[in-house]
Amino acid sequence: MSKFAIEVMGISKRYERGKAGRIQNAGDVLRAITSPFRKDTRPDSHFWALKDVSFALHEGEILGIVGENGAGKSTLLKILSRIVAPTQGKAIMHGRVGALLEVGTGFHDELTGRENVFLNGAILGLKHRDITRLFDEIVAFSGVEAFIDTPVKRYSSGMRLRLGFAVAAYLNPEILIIDEVLAVGDDEFRRRSMGKMNSLANEGRTVIYVSHAMRTVQQLCTRAIYLSKGQILGDGTPNEVIENYLKPQTTRTTSDNSLLALARPADVQRDAPRLAHITVLDDIGNPTSTVKLGEPLRFRVDIESTRPVSDCDVIIRIETTDNIAVTTVRSSDYQQWYSISPDAPLTINCTIPKLNLEPAEYEVTLLIRDKHRIICDHLPRVHRLMVSNVPYGIDAPPLAMVGVVTAYSEWAIEGDS
């Protein structure tokens, strides 16, 4: 545990804004040709995807990197796997790096699965006989035996993913970098690949894993880093960091929770009542984005309208991040019909006293319908909701295995009184 596997020192990455595909005249061409030799000094011409990121990882650690979209997670992984170069800073990788970035890895479409395994092995710097030795294991893990001599272009995305993971994990890299790929795999594959990552770490290898699924990070990782806008805001145990990760979301959703400016689906009426705000409340009525397991779920919804409407009903649906609807509640089921006029906006409170959602991230969808049951406004997956308080610790199985809700249950040995 004492030796460092990865040392990252002040890594920054600057991207040129609008550089791609913006070449329209001779001047642009000249700029493009000479750009490697010039420094673009216009302040708005670039942005920093990563800013002064530093951390060090010991051998055997499993690091989870969490953060919003665009926080710089993928950029960091690309730098560590040397696909893009940093603009500033330095990173030292002690060992061979196997990487699985997005789905598919470095597969050559025309080549067969077998040829691609050898190609990727060579890319990792392995000798032919070493790859031969590991080949059977790779194929067995990926489960594509029957298609190993078929060109990869005919593989399904699941097969590519499984073979890609097997290649990255079994070609014995000292450092394994995995970018949010398990989310696409099926449950069986997810379980096996997490097991593989765990056993790699136990052998003293180092794993970096990026995920939006907090729960996976909690289960799998020994450490987590929270990236936001290219900077590290949290570094510690997964539980600590995920707590950290939720805090800014609380403030963000409460300070700016207006829904009016958001884009609506195309089928939504233009001139109709609008869902203006949604707030999740804690048990004493303060805005929050985190609810503790077993606590009541309380929503406050503001509705505005530019014309008088009557007999509307409001629908709230809760879904998991992998698109499973947990429940849908309708005000009309409880004989609640609302009338809204331009000078009298409405605030509705909806409480679900006991839902017992498993600790995870959920998404809330809002709908409002008029008296003809026509959808007036629809905001799919507009609000994030966290259920916290991990009851089982990091060994907890994934949601898909235990279910979405946790139920109260009574246990007894028959005959005892």
Partner 1 sequence: MPKSYTTIITPPHGWQALNFAEVWQYRDLLWVWTRSQISARYKQSVLGVLWAVINPLVNMIIYSAVFSVLARFPSNGVPYALFLFCGLVPWTFFQACAIGGMTSLTQNASIIKKVYFPRLILPFGNVCVSLFDFLFYFLILIVFMLLHALSTPSGFVFGAELLTMTAFPLPAPFVIQPTWGILLVPLFMMQVIAVGMGIGLIFGALDAQFRDAGRILAVLVNIGFWGTPILYSTTQFNLLDGWVNRLNPMAGVVEGFRWAFLGLPAPSPTWLLSSLVAIGIFLVGAYYFKRVETTMMDVL
3-state SS, residue 24:
coil
386 binds partner 1 (CB under 8 A): no
30 binds partner 1 (CB under 8 A): no
297-304 and 346-352 strand pairing: antiparallel
How far apart are the C-alpha atoms of 7 and 356, rounded to whole Å?
Answer: 42
How far apart are the C-alpha atoms of 240 and 115, rounded to whole Å?
Answer: 44
283 binds partner 1 (CB under 8 A): no
Q: Which of 55, 58, 60, 96 binds partner 1 (CB under 8 A)?
A: 96
Q: Which of 67, 94, 74 is nearest to 8 (CA)?
A: 94
Buried/exposed code over 7-34 (b: 16+ C-beta within 10 A; e: otherwise)? ebeebbbbeeeeeeeeeeeeeeeeeeee
Nearer residue to partner 1 within complex by CB, 126 or 312: 126
Task: Give me the least distance between CB of 126 and partner 1, in Å please.
Answer: 8
Q: Which of 1, 44, 85, 343 binds partner 1 (CB under 8 A)?
A: 85
Q: Which of 86, 185, 230, 398 binds partner 1 (CB under 8 A)?
A: 86
43 binds partner 1 (CB under 8 A): no
By CB under 8 A, which span of 27-35, 267-275, 378-386, 400-408 interacts with partner 1?
27-35
Task: Give me the least distance between CB of 82 and partner 1, in Å please.
Answer: 4
Report helix angle 113-123 to 157-170, nearest 10.
Answer: 40
105 binds partner 1 (CB under 8 A): yes
By CB under 8 A, which span of 19-27, 213-221, 372-380, 395-403 interacts with partner 1?
19-27
Q: Identify any residues that bridge with 319 across adjacent strands, giving them in sequence order.
A: 325, 363
Q: Which of 89, 143, 158, 248 binds partner 1 (CB under 8 A)?
A: 89
How many whole angstroms from its chain centre is CA 162?
A: 19
Nearer residue to partner 1 within complex by CB, 75 or 290: 75
By CB under 8 A, which span of 83-91, 137-145, 220-228, 293-301 interacts with partner 1?
83-91
Nearer residue to partner 1 within complex by CB, 82 or 292: 82
Tell me whether residue 255 is exposed, middle or buried, using C-beta atoms within 10 angstroms of its C-beta: 0 to 12, 13 to 18, 19 or more: exposed
Report helix angle 128-142 to 157-170, nearest 10.
Answer: 140
By CB under 8 A, which span of 122-130, 203-211, 217-225, 333-341 interacts with partner 1?
122-130
By CB under 8 A, which span of 13-21, 54-62, 195-203, 382-390 interacts with partner 1?
13-21
Residues with Cβ within 8 Å of 188's Cβ and at least 6 positions away in sequence, in order, are none
Question: Encoding tokens for residue 357?
Answer: 């959602």
37 binds partner 1 (CB under 8 A): yes
Longest dimension (CA), the chain: 90
* DSSP string computed for 243-288: HHHHHHHHHHHHHS-B-TTSPPPTTS-SSS-EEEEEEEE-TTS-EE
Nearer residue to partner 1 within complex by CB, 92 or 344: 92
Task: Give me the least distance between CB of 56 and partner 1, in Å please.
Answer: 14
91 binds partner 1 (CB under 8 A): yes
Q: Which of 65, 77, 79, 390 binds partner 1 (CB under 8 A)?
A: 79
The residue ranges that bind partner 1 (CB under 8 A) are 11, 15-16, 19-21, 23, 28-29, 32-33, 35-37, 78-97, 99, 101-102, 104-111, 115, 118-120, 122-123, 125, 127-128, 151, 174
